[in-house]
């Protein structure tokens, strides 16, 4: 790996498009002008080193051995139980001949030898986390995966440790404590390795935790910088001349203090439990923040910055470059921690560096990722009614005040619910179609705001929420969305809320899973479901793909229901209380009737003979494509 | 590694015990339904497991407050006031913490058991409220929890939109 770094360094001096992370190559394809910036950090084609494959968060794989023509022959080749019957979010990594799986709490790291039949277990690393963390995690004890670089697998544990494990031996290299579980803080997101830093963020906005991102030294685990998302500019790292928010509403000194009642920012949530993206050319990383703490909006008059915002920062220093608050003064718990997909596309005839954010709020936001300017915000979830649209001149939502929640009253029929028009489960893009594939979710809610007490380590809500299925027969839909035209191209309606990520491949396929346990492959152009396979439990993970040591293309996914909505399948939640599980039980209790807890890593491939035939047939085309 | 060793020795113990039971049965088949003969004479060394014996009920305190509306309403108010609903559900149907309205009592469902769970806390995140709350409030919370799913329950849950009328 050190060798790779020096190669990278040499290339950086030579190439005009170079960055500190290696030369930037653009993944393109015939069919659209979308291009995905990618560097060596994503690993070689056929491997999967970062949570979303690349730091652009594309979840687009160039593998095409499995394609729309042969996917019907896909078969299960291995399945392993992790032994932990809780929500399996996230995705495996594949580095060389090893697949890495992080389990839900107690956050084991399992390494499987993919060169052995059935993928033999090589080793298991146990970080031995504090069990107190189990009762502080708002929405099941999930983990969203690891990142790989420099011989290290790096991930978060629920009890607020970041660990780096030797990818070969499974021995711990460093382990850094970054938070206190007794304050209600937990870690659930997948850290992203950017150059020599590990970028990580915290969870716990439901317990009055103050959100942050931290940059850790990849070699030592030392915390190099901490950037809070609330509080004074010195602590949000916005006190620098290069911090230039695009909109006047987001400009000014110490907005992380002034947009809150006195001291409320200390309990202000705005945590970072979703995905981090990185643009190697601009040398900026991007993330979205969660809900402001306390849920009851009348207890925190003001815009409550920087809750529900997208923030761009320098990975070396953590310094902010721009910030855009999508929803000032949230009244619905609309965390916007969703994936920010970094692609370049023509916008009004000019190629632009875009940031595409399919939002919990029901809108797909398209921003210019150099400046933070909002280029488009259109509803992908038609029932969305908390706002009618966005004013692109001011960056402000046009809110329907009748849907704003207030203390002492219940506001009825708000769409989407707090769980969003999509959840944290990430979308994918494909340059072959130019489309964004969104795993959508259709709940509405009644929301009563009540007084809340802050008691450290307990939920800080002030809300009595009841969710229920939104209009139509489907609580889920895989939506293919044209980000330029801002319109839906096709949709696959699902009875149950969609809670899995999406994988798009050069084989013109999109893979996703359903909460009732079907793993599906659909035609990326038409939305026709071409193949499906029933797995042991509901899917709340993100499918990924890789090339094995035998040259075959594999697709992997976890089956293990859980998470905020998925936990309704567990016995510990009673269907007789629809306000249970922070209000989701009213919309998802019937998951109990269609799935049970599970813990399986599934791997699929074409039969050996078929894989070989297709590789040979495609060989000519691949060579031709590379020559271009 | 330590865990693995423990498992290995536990499994070994289990196998030995089963083997011992089988041997005994072969030697002298017991009548159907009879328990195998157990004596202490073969035991040497330190006892490792719990000691079985006849039930010897531990005296437990009963809730000094009656299951009356004013007590239960106050218990419900405290349940919301101390953020219990955030973990255990708006009507105690569970979430971050387990449901308190189902049939399962992880730590016992008697008055004193529930009181102790609140006062002492439990592993996996349940805080110990004993040092913070007056005993009187803990007993009222106990009463509210025991009223869940009964006709006495104050502020009953609304019907579930996707799964109407279920037992628990």
Given a contact cutoff of 8 angstroms between Cβ atoms, the answer to whether A157 and A248 are in contact is no
- Of B117, B60, B120, nearest to B92 (Cα)? B117
CA angle B54, B55, B56 (to 5 degrees): 110
d(CA A425, CA A538): 14
pLDDT tens for each residue of A109-164: 999 999 999 999 999 999 999 999 999 999 999 999 999 999 999 999 999 999 99
SS3 A111: strand
Q: What is the pLDDT of residue A1?
A: 39
Once rounded to an integer, what is the mean pLDDT over residues B74-82?
98
pLDDT tens for each residue of A456-500: 999 999 999 999 999 998 999 999 999 999 999 999 999 999 999
Quick check: B93 and A126 CB within 8 A? no
Angle between the B69-81 and B135-147 helix axes, to the nearest 10 degrees?
100
Are B75 and B134 in a shared domain? yes
Are B87 and B23 in a shared domain? no
Residue bearing the bigger pLDDT, B33 or A526: A526
Quick check: B82 and A453 CB within 8 A? yes
- Of B100, B166, B49, nearest to A586 (Cα)? B166
Are B130 and B77 in a shared domain? yes
Question: Parallel, antiparallel, or unpaired for β A503-505 and A60-61?
Answer: parallel
Q: What percent of chain A has pLDDT over 90?
A: 93
Q: What is the pLDDT of residue B163?
A: 87
Q: Is residue B1 part of a domain?
A: yes
CATH of the domain at B115: 1.10.760.10
CA angle A582, A583, A584 (to 5 degrees): 100
d(CA A470, CA A480): 20
Indicate the average pLDDT of chain B.
81
Cβ partners under 8 Å of residue A525, min gap 6: A433, A508
Q: What is the pLDDT of residue A15?
A: 39
Task: Name which of A203-207, A624-628, B69-73 the model is least confident about.
Answer: A624-628
Phi, psi torsion values for A52, nearest 5 degrees: -105, 25
Phi, psi torsion values for B53, nearest 5 degrees: 180, 175
Once rounded to an integer, what is the mean pLDDT over residues A580-596?
97
Cβ partners under 8 Å of residue B41, min gap 6: none
Task: Name which of A121-125, A524-528, A618-622, B132-136 the model is least confident about.
Answer: A618-622
Q: Is B30 exposed, middle or buried (0-12, 13-18, 19+ CB in 10 A)?
A: exposed
Put simply, the chain A residues between 588 and 607 with a CB less than 8 A from any chain B CB are: 588-590, 592-593
Give the H or E element holding residue A377: strand A374-379
pLDDT tens for each residue of A318-352: 999 999 999 999 999 999 999 999 999 999 999 99
What is the widest separation between alpha-carbon atoms in chain B?
65
Question: Has residue A87 got a pLDDT over 80?
Answer: yes
Q: What is the pLDDT of residue B129?
A: 96
Q: What is the ipTM of this complex?
A: 0.91
Q: What is the pLDDT of residue B49?
A: 81
Return the domain boundaries, chain A.
2-60+87-627
Q: Is residue B124 part of a domain?
A: yes
Structure tokens at A204: 């716990």
Containing structural domain, residue B96: 69-147
Question: Has residue B23 got a pLDDT over 70?
Answer: no
Q: Is residue B83 part of a domain?
A: yes
Put simply, the chain A residues between 125 and 184 with a CB less than 8 A from any chain B CB are: 126, 131-139
d(CA A443, CA A622): 44
Q: What is the DSSP string of A443-505?
A: EEEEEEE------TTS----EEEEEEE-SSS-SEEEEEEETTTTEEEEEEEESSPP-S--EEE
Q: What is the pLDDT of residue B48?
A: 79
- Of A51, A201, A95, nearest to A501 (Cα)? A51
Residue A324 bridge partners (DSSP): A310
d(CA A127, CA A148): 17
Once rounded to an integer, what is the mean pLDDT over residues A400-410?
97
Cβ partners under 8 Å of residue A336, min gap 6: A288, A289, A290, A308, A309, A310, A326, A327, A357, A359, A360, A361
d(CA A62, CA A79): 24
Catalytic residues of A: 206, 291, 333
Q: What is the pLDDT of residue A628?
A: 39
State whether residue B81 sits within 8 Å of chain A by CB.
yes
Given a contact cutoff of 8 angstroms between Cβ atoms, the answer to whether A604 and A511 are in contact is no
Exposed e or buried b for every residue in A276-300, given b needs 16+ CB within 10 A?
bbbbbbbbbbbbbbbbbbbbbbbbb
CA angle A42, A44, A49 (to 5 degrees): 40
Preferred mutation among A137, A296, A577, A595 to probe B, highest tally of B CBs within 10 A: A577
Are B81 and B142 in a shared domain? yes
Put simply, the chain A residues between 434 and 493 with a CB less than 8 A from any chain B CB are: 450, 452-453, 455, 457-461, 464-466, 468-469
Question: Has residue B105 got a pLDDT over 50?
Answer: yes
Q: Is residue B154 part of a domain?
A: no
pLDDT band at A17 (very low <50, low <70, confident <90, very high): very low
Break chain A down into helix, strand, coil percent, rounded to 5.
15, 35, 50
Residue A123 bridge partners (DSSP): A111
Once rounded to an integer, what is the mean pLDDT over residues A530-551?
98
Cβ partners under 8 Å of residue A595, min gap 6: A515, A516, A517, A537, A538, A561, A569
State whether residue B130 sits within 8 Å of chain A by CB.
no
Q: What superfamily in CATH does domain A2-60+87-627 come from?
A: Quinoprotein alcohol dehydrogenase-like superfamily (2.140.10.10)
Question: Has residue B83 got a pLDDT over 60?
Answer: yes
pLDDT tens for each residue of A252-269: 999 999 999 999 999 999
Q: What percent of chain B has pLDDT over 70?
A: 69
Write down the pTM of the prediction.
Answer: 0.90
- For chain B, the domain total comes to 2
Structure tokens at A533: 């396979």
Structure tokens at A126: 């146990």
Q: What is the pLDDT of residue B27?
A: 44
Query: How many residue pairs bridge chain A and chain B with CB atoms within 8 Å of each other?
Result: 143
Quick check: A452 and B168 CB within 8 A? no
């Amino acid at each position: 790996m050190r060798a790779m770094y020096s190669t990278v360094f040499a290339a950086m001096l030579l190439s005009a498009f170079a960055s500190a992370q290696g030369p930037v190559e653009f993944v393109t394809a015939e069919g659209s002008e979308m291009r995905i910036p990618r560097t060596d950090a994503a690993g070689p084609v056929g491997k999967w080193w970062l949570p979303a494959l690349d730091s652009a968060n594309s979840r687009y794989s160039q593998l095409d051995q499995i394609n729309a023509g042969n996917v019907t022959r896909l078969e299960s080749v291995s399945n392993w139980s992790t032994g932990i019957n809780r929500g399996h979010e996230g995705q495996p990594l594949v580095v060389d001949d090893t697949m890495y799986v992080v389990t839900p709490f107690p956050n084991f790291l399992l390494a499987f030898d993919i060169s052995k039949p059935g993928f033999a277990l090589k080793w298991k690393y146990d970080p031995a986390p504090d069990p107190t963390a189990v009762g502080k995690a708002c929405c099941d004890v999930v983990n969203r995966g690891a990142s790989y670089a420099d011989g290290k697998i790096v991930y978060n544990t629920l009890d607020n440790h970041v660990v780096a494990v030797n990818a070969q031996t499974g021995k711990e290299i460093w382990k850094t404590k970054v938070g206190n579980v007794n304050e209600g803080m937990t870690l659930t997101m997948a850290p992203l390795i950017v150059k020599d830093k590990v970028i990580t963020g915290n969870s716990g906005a439901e317990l009055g935790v103050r959100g942050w991102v931290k940059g850790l030294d990849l070699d030592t685990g030392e915390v190099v910088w901490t950037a809070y998302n609330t509080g004074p500019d010195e602590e949000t790292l916005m006190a620098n001349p290069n911090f230039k928010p695009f909109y006047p509403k987001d400009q000014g000194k110490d907005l992380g203090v002034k947009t809150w009642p006195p001291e409320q920012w200390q309990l202000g949530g705005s945590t970072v439990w979703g995905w981090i993206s990185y643009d190697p050319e601009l040398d900026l990383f991007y993330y979205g923040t969660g809900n402001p703490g306390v849920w009851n909006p009348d207890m925190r008059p003001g815009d409550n910055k920087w809750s529900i915002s997208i923030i761009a920062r320098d990975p070396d220093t953590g310094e902010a470059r721009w910030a855009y608050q999508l929803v000032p003064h949230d009244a619905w718990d609309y965390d916007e921690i969703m994936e920010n997909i970094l692609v370049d596309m023509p916008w009004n005839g000019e190629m632009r560096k875009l940031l595409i954010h399919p939002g919990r709020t029901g809108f797909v936001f398209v921003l210019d990722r150099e400046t933070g300017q909002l280029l488009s915000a259109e509803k992908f979830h038609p029932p969305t009614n908390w706002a009618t649209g966005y004013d692109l001149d001011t960056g402000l939502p046009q809110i329907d005040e009748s849907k704003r929640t207030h203390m002492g009253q219940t506001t009825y029929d708000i769409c989407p619910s707090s769980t969003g028009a999509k959840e944290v489960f990430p979308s994918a893009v494909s340059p072959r179609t130019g489309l964004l594939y969104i795993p959508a979710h259709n709940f509405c809610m009644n929301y009563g705001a009540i007084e809340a007490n802050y008691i450290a380590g307990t939920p800080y809500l002030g809300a009595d929420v009841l969710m229920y299925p939104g209009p139509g027969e489907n609580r889920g839909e895989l939506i293919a969305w044209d980000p330029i035209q801002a319109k839906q191209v096709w949709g696959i309606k699902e009875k149950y809320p969609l809670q899995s990520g999406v994988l798009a491949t050069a084989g013109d396929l999109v893979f996703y899973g359903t909460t009732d346990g079907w793993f599906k492959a659909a035609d990326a152009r038409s939305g026709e479901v071409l193949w499906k396979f029933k797995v042991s439990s509901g899917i709340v993970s993100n499918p990924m793909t890789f090339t094995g040591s035998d040259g075959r293309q594999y697709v992997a996914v976890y089956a293990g229901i859980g998470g905020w909505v998925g936990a309704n399948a567990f016995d510990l939640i009673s269907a007789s209380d629809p306000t249970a599980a922070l209000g989701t039980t009213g919309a998802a209790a019937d998951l109990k009737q269609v799935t049970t807890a599970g813990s399986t890593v599934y791997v699929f491939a074409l039969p050996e003979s078929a894989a070989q035939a297709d590789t040979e047939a495609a060989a000519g085309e691949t060579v031709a494509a590379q020559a271009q | 590694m330590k865990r693995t060793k423990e498992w290995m020795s536990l499994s070994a113990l289990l196998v030995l015990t089963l083997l011992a039971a089988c041997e005994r049965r072969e030697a002298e088949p017991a009548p159907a339904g009879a328990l195998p003969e157990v004596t202490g004479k073969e035991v040497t060394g330190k006892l490792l497991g719990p000691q079985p014996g006849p039930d010897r009920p531990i005296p437990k305190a009963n809730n000094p407050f009656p299951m009356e509306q004013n007590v239960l309403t106050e218990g419900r108010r405290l349940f919301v006031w101390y953020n219990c609903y955030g973990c255990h559900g708006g009507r105690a149907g569970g979430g971050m913490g387990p449901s308190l309205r189902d049939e399962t009592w992880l730590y016992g469902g008697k008055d004193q058991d529930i009181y102790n769970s609140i006062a002492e806390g439990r592993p996996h995140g349940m805080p110990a409220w004993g040092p913070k709350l007056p005993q009187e409030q803990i007993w009222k919370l106990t009463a509210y929890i025991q009223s869940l799913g009964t006709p006495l329950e104050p502020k009953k849950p609304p019907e579930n939109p996707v799964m109407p009328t279920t037992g628990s």
